[in-house]
């Protein structure tokens, strides 16, 4: 799970700081949600190359014997993360028109 939290931390750090445009932030979040789909697909096939800590764990233990549901748990966690983040940051949630109108009132 450390690999997943590393990816979330990278996203969090990329969203911080002054001078960020809303469109940049939205793009970063949408890209992360799209990457989650790739993570899920790869995890389902047993490809954990994107998560080196987990890959190392699998290599150093007899995970199939000791932890039979670990892969399924990771897949389920990634799927839940994707399902929960997708509607929050849906493409049509904020439009350029709304943001432009709000910005004109702020100045």
Domain ranges of the chain: 2-13+20-106
pLDDT computed for residue 101 by the predictor: 47
**pTM of the entire predicted model:** 0.66
pLDDT computed for residue 68 by the predictor: 54
Report DSSP letters for 7-69, one per residue.
Answer: HHHHHHHHT-STT--HHHHHHHHHHHHHHHHHHHHHHHTT--TT-HHHHHHHHHS-HHHH-TT
pLDDT computed for residue 30 by the predictor: 85
pLDDT computed for residue 19 by the predictor: 86
In the chain (107 residues long), the average pLDDT of successive 10-residue segments reads 81 88 84 88 81 76 61 85 78 54 48
pLDDT computed for residue 13 by the predictor: 92
pLDDT computed for residue 33 by the predictor: 87
């Amino acid at each position: 799970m450390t690999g997943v939290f590393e990816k979330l931390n990278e996203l969090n750090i990329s969203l911080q700081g002054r001078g960020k445009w809303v469109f940049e932030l939205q793009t970063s979040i949408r890209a992360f949600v799209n990457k989650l789909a790739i993570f899920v697909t790869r995890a389902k096939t047993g490809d954990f190359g994107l998560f080196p800590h987990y890959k190392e764990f699998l290599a150093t233990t007899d995970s199939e014997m000791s932890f039979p549901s670990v892969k399924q748990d990771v897949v389920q966690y990634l799927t839940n993360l994707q399902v929960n983040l997708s509607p929050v940051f849906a493409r049509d949630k904020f439009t350029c028109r709304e943001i432009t109108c709000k910005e004109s009132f702020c100045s």
